[in-house]
Amino acid sequence: MRSIGEMARDSGLGVSALRFYDRAGVLVPAWVDPVSGYRWYEPRQLEEARLLARLRRAGMPLTDVRLTLAGWSGADTDLVRNLLKAHLRRLEQGLSDARSEFSALRALLDHRENVMTSLSIATVRLSVAAPELAAALDTVRFAVSTDPELPMLGGVLFDIEGESLHAVATDRYRMAVARAAVAGHDGSRVQVIVPAPLADAMRALLGGGGPVRLTVDGDRVALEAGDGQAAGPCLGHDFPDYRRLLPAAGGRRAVVEVADFRKALETGPVRTGEAGERDLSLLRAEDGGTVTLCADGDDDPNRVAVDREFLLDALAAGARDRLILEFGSPTAPIAIRRPDDEDTFSVLMPVRLED
């Protein structure tokens, strides 16, 4: 008999996937320990698990997966071939439809690039209080992406409009937004992406308490603080429209004592990730305005799974003894806000649980 861990290792399916397919009745263990609930599989089931892993990677719907496995175990090769052909036709049709949509999207992007470029070619000179800009950079820096495939996310967006500078960073799984007041700007909107190394160099100059000078000139940005200067080219990409990604108002709010909540996260229950996966914390917002950490086996439909390290980073960046966690649906982002500053917050995307 193979343990669920051995089956996961040898089949290419994660432990969580095997649990899901057990509950879905697709790949049921040969025996389940009545005391511990631990799953065990017969050696012959490894071939089915490997087939299931291939069908999963190919994106076959669960209904057809069941039929394919049934045909495979029953040696009904005609059924299996017909199901594979039908799924391949769906994929080919989907690819054809996607190509048509992407052609239309490219035309729209060409138009939008002309509009977006106008937001980054203006010359702007403004002043901002060093502590405010330092706090804004500290708040968002943790969310900057390091993915080389997404170079537009490899820096901090400076979104300047009116008397505000919004610093924004995201790596798709989390986003942070912070505001600093500015003076000397004419009010028109200007956006530039400051590369992460340049943003770090700027932050190093912000140890004083007075105003500093920020200049945007075409594709270059410079910060002057006393006798020091940090300057360089901006990233030549368009940043996503972060305003569309902001969480909707409403939902449940819970106030957490950061020190206590951090300790609970670090020592409390966690869903341990498999190889290549990260550990998850399962959260539930209670009616009394508190947050409960759920055990891995808790199947409450209102629980929300988040990357534990990402949540710890967001708590540290919040820089307050108390923070507010906003919960929507189990699939909606979680917002982490400061009680005294609604314009500064971070957002964590939930992780979909398969079982």
Q: Which domain CATH number covers 293?
A: 3.10.150.10
Domain boundary among 243, 267, 289: 243
Same domain, 237 and 132: yes
Q: Tell me if 353 is assigned to some domain.
A: no
Q: Decide: 237 and 152 in contact? Cβ < 8 Å.
A: yes
Mutual angle of helices 77-117 and 62-73, in 10-degree steps = 150
Same domain, 67 and 182: no
Number of domains in the chain: 3
Same domain, 122 and 238: yes
Same domain, 311 and 197: no
Q: Tell me if 100 is assigned to some domain.
A: no
Q: Tell me if 101 is assigned to some domain.
A: no
Q: Decide: 280 and 273 in contact? Cβ < 8 Å.
A: yes
Same domain, 169 and 75: no
Same domain, 226 and 126: yes
Q: Tell me if 355 is assigned to some domain.
A: no
pLDDT at 36: 86
Q: Tell me if 111 is assigned to some domain.
A: no
Same domain, 324 and 341: yes
Task: Please work out, in degrees rounded to the nearest 5, the angle formed at the alpha carbon of residue 292 by the alpha carbons of 311 and 255.
Answer: 70
Residue range(s) defining the domain that contains residue 290: 247-348
Same domain, 59 and 22: yes
CATH number at residue 15: 1.10.1660.10
Mean pLDDT, consecutive 10-residue segments, the chain of 355 residues? Answer: 90 89 89 90 92 91 89 86 92 88 79 56 86 95 93 93 93 93 86 95 92 91 93 88 76 90 91 70 86 81 88 93 88 89 88 70
pLDDT at 98: 87
Same domain, 226 and 282: no
Same domain, 279 and 325: yes
Which tens digit of pLDDT belongs to each residue from 173-210? 999 999 999 998 887 888 999 999 999 999 999 988 88
pLDDT at 203: 96
Task: Please work out, in degrees rounded to the nearest 5, the angle formed at the alpha carbon of residue 230 by the alpha carbons of 343 and 130.
Answer: 40
- In this prediction the pTM is 0.67
**Strand 304-307 versus strand 280-285 pairing type:** antiparallel
